Homo-oligomer: A and B are copies of this chain.
Amino acid sequence: MRLSEELSSTKQRILDAAEALFAQNGFTGASLRQVTSMAKVNLAAVNYHFGSKDKLVEEVLRRRLDVLNKHRLDALAALRDTASIENVLEAFIRPAMELLAMDHGGMAFRRVMARAYAEQDNQLRQFLSAHYSNVLRQFAHALAERLPTLDKAELYWRLDIVIGALTYAMADFGIIQRRPDSSEEQHLEQAVQHLVHFAAAGMRSA
């Protein structure tokens, strides 16, 4: 790769198009011909730059998840010792929802995440797990510090439930439709607040 074009527009355009089409049609449903057509690049460019379709899927995921995990850990690190459970949960939830609101691609990434979770494929699951376990452990620790009487196994059960609700919300599965008189940003902000509030109540529950 030429240094002067490290952010090769071909690779970027492929990733953007792949993200949009994977979101719309799924990983198997979206063909490389659709992707390269939308990206206005040659069909062979995918295999040249990424090696295979599977590798392209991983790159689409990695590009967003790396940003998301960094924002989460930054938000967690910025908290004081006196921070509440709500603060910790918000550090976990808000970056995820804001990622979606960042740009048009972020919104498409919603469904890509959902697709990824639905994939039974072990290779993909392992890839996701590898990019996730570290973050999970740190948040579990932060929550455990603030819930000293809560059993560890019980804490992980509850954290799992929170992740479930967040994943569902990120994937835009919900029954709640955004009201036409409110913006997408306002809708996401509402979702964050409801999720944090609900999750904190469940976490604290005796």
Chain A interface residues toward B at CB < 8 A: 23-26, 28-29, 111, 114-115, 117-120, 136, 154, 156-169, 171, 173-176, 190, 194-195, 197-202, 204-205
Contacts and interface: CB of A to CB of B under 8 A. Distances in A.
A109 B200 CA distance: 31
The A interface, classified by DSSP as helix, strand, loop or mixed, is helix
Q: How many subunits of this chain does the assembly comprise?
A: 2
Contacts of A23: 120
A195 B161 contact: yes
A161 B198 contact: yes
Nearest to A29: B28
Contact of A205 (B169, B176, B197): B197
Given A26-B28, A117-B114, A120-B111, A161 B194 contact: yes
